[in-house]
Amino acid sequence: MRFLLLAAALSLAVPAAFASAERYQIRYAADLVDVCDTNSRAADAEAAAAFCHGYLVGAFHFYDAATPPAARFACAPDPTPSRSEVMNGFVAWAKAHPQHMQERAVETLFRFLANTYPCTD
């Protein structure tokens, strides 16, 4: 009986989760800002913030793994800011630099990171 209830719950939850993710198509910086700016998405702010956090963390982890330390231009400061601080900072920075809104999202993200968290070594 428990198995049937769990299966029924999952069959309802999984499609809903994928439907939410389908709504967040990130191509340009403006797309990423739209998802990360949770003030403008009251109805799905929690899902949008989680998606944004995943995008930002995934991009930075790939950069960190793929870029030798001597070639890095953006570095996490100590203490490391929270994901929400980085997300909100990115949104504010991007809105202040609208000339980058039609560039690829990851390029604009790293413009922000290099400007805000440059490597100081």
Identify the pLDDT of residue 41: 63
Identify the pLDDT of residue 19: 45
Identify the pLDDT of residue 121: 64
Token output for 17: 């989760």
The Cα 75–Cα 2 span in angstroms is: 48
The Cα 46–Cα 93 span in angstroms is: 21
Identify the pLDDT of residue 40: 65
Among 110, 88, 108, 109, CA closest to 99: 108
**pLDDT, average across residues 106-114:** 97
Q: How confident is the model at residue 97 (pLDDT cuts 50, 70, 90)?
A: very high
Residue 9's identity, in one-letter code, is A
The Cα 77–Cα 113 span in angstroms is: 11
Q: pLDDT tens digits for 9-44?
A: 444 444 444 445 567 889 999 999 999 997 766 678
Q: Is the pLDDT of residue 1 over 70?
A: no
Q: pLDDT tens digits for 37-87?
A: 977 666 788 888 999 999 999 999 999 999 999 999 999 999 999 999 999
